[in-house]
């Protein structure tokens, strides 16, 4: 309850999370039938980058702001334009009210979802903090597709799944105030949710400080009952210190077909654009594919061969 995302809005972790979210939404929109989305930790929906909180940490400067002028990033050439998915994502942010003269507001997941959804899609947005929930409800009051619930998102899944549309996505993006305890809560919530809605897509954001904390969580998700589990990670610092956010990841249960293909070039570009003291590293691999079992040991990701995180095209089950 002490966490405020306004201090971190638009940072490198937000960029990864929201680019993956857009790829998922575009995959869902590839079919004409409507979909439903559930966001378990929705936040307030919009964050002022010139506000007190954002300017105290200025994390957005090493995140979304670096994508504004990609040709000025280190090592960039005129041929390295943003991949189409990144371009669409950035354009959607700049098209929001308040950003007419430049990037002033960073939209949270609910506002980005509202911008991407069609008229017949819907979203259920859960936020436990009373002030954040009130701000979110005010922000979306004129959008009949968006429904705000001031309640615990994990508990709400019991009543919200499956959605009326019978297809869609659950986004789980908690603050991880107690990281290892949060992992246990997520694992339990996912197992119960998959029993209610086994065909749903579940996307979970997670922080990376020490790799040893993350590995058991990912290993357990392979045993959640999902048919496919895809991992996308971005590290801007070595994953060996508990004192800062070194990277983040998105793990997608029942990931849509070809989602890995949609994310490969954007991840490669993000590693180049968001590198800090040393080259960033990215990982995109299947932790579990359809027909496999969770018995295969989970391997740790290793540094890619090139400084920019480049890897040859094609599916990868585990990092070499």
CA nearest neighbour of 10 among 84, 82, 61: 61
CA nearest neighbour of 9 among 138, 111, 129: 111
- Which residue is catalytic, options 14, 39, 121, 173? 173
pLDDT tens, position by position, 212-221: 999 999 999 9
Residue 165: inside a domain: yes
CATH number of the domain enclosing 32: 3.40.50.150
Please indicate whether residue 121 is annotated as part of the active site: no
10 Å CB burial of residue 288 (0-12, 13-18, 19+) is buried
| pLDDT confidence band for 314 (50 / 70 / 90) | very low
Q: Are 319 and 300 in contact (CB under 8 A)?
A: yes
Residue 300: inside a domain: no
Instruction: Over range 125-134, report the average pLDDT.
Output: 95
Cα–Cα–Cα angle for 35, 109, 289, nearest 5°? 60
User: What is the span of the domain harbouring residue 243?
Assistant: 5-288
**pLDDT at position 124, please?**
98
pLDDT tens, position by position, 172-199: 999 998 888 999 999 999 999 999 999 9
Give the sheet arrangement for strand 201-208, strand by strand: 146-149, 122-126, 36-39, 168-172, 201-208, 247-253, 229-235, 281-288
Beta-bridge mates of residue 204: 172, 251
Q: Which two tokens stand for residue 60?
A: 């957005």
Residue 309: inside a domain: no
Q: Which of 58-67, 273-282, 295-304 has the lowest mean pLDDT?
A: 295-304
pLDDT for residue 307 is more than 70: no
pLDDT tens, position by position, 239-291: 998 889 999 999 999 999 999 999 999 999 999 999 998 999 999 999 999 88
Residue 275: inside a domain: yes
Domain count, the chain: 1
For residue 170, the surrounding DSSP H or E stretch is strand 168-172
Residue 293: inside a domain: no
Residue 307: inside a domain: no
Please tell me which residue, 267 or 302, carries the higher pLDDT value. Answer: 267
Residue 314: inside a domain: no
Residue 55: inside a domain: yes
| pLDDT confidence band for 311 (50 / 70 / 90) | very low
The C-alpha atoms of residue 187 and residue 311 are separated, in whole angstroms, by 30
Q: Which of 51-65, 116-130, 244-258, 300-314 has the lowest mean pLDDT?
A: 300-314
pLDDT for residue 94 is more than 90: yes
Burial 124-152 (b: 16+ CB within 10 A, else e): bbbbbbeebbebbbebbeeeebbebbeee
Backbone φ and ψ of 230, nearest 5°? -110, 140
**pLDDT at position 302, please?**
55
């Amino acid at each position: 309850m002490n966490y405020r995302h306004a201090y971190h809005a638009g940072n490198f972790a937000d960029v990864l999370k929201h680019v993956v979210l857009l790829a998922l939404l575009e995959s869902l929109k590839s079919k004409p039938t409507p979909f439903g989305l559930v966001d378990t930790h929705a936040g307030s929906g919009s964050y002022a980058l010139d506000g007190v909180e954002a300017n105290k940490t200025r994390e957005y400067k090493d995140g979304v702001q670096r994508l504004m002028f990609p040709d000025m990033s280190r090592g960039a050439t005129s041929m390295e334009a943003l991949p189409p998915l990144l371009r669409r994502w950035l354009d959607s942010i700049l098209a929001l009210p308040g950003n007419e003269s430049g990037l002033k507001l960073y939209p949270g997941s609910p506002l980005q979802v509202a911008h991407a959804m069609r008229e017949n899609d819907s979203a259920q947005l859960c936020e436990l903090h009373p002030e954040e929930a009130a701000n979110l409800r005010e922000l979306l009051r004129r959008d009949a597709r968006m429904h705000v619930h001031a309640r615990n998102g994990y508990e709400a899944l019991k009543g919200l799944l499956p959605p009326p549309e019978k297809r869609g996505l659950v986004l789980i993006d908690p603050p991880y105030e107690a990281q290892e305890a949060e992992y246990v809560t997520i694992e339990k919530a996912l197992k119960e949710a998959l029993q209610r809605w086994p065909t749903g897509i579940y996307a979970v954001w997670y922080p990376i400080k020490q790799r040893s904390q993350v590995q058991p969580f990912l290993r357990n998700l392979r045993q959640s009952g999902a048919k496919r589990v895809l991992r996308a990670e971005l590290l801007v610092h070595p994953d060996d210190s508990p004192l800062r956010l070194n990277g983040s990841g998105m793990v997608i249960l029942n990931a849509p077909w070809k989602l890995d293909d949609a994310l490969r070039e954007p991840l490669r570009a993000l590693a180049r654009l968001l590198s800090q003291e040393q080259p960033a590293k990215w990982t995109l691999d299947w932790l579990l594919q359809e027909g496999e079992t969770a018995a295969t040991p989970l391997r740790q990701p290793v540094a890619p061969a090139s400084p920019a995180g480049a890897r040859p095209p094609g599916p990868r089950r585990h990092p070499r």
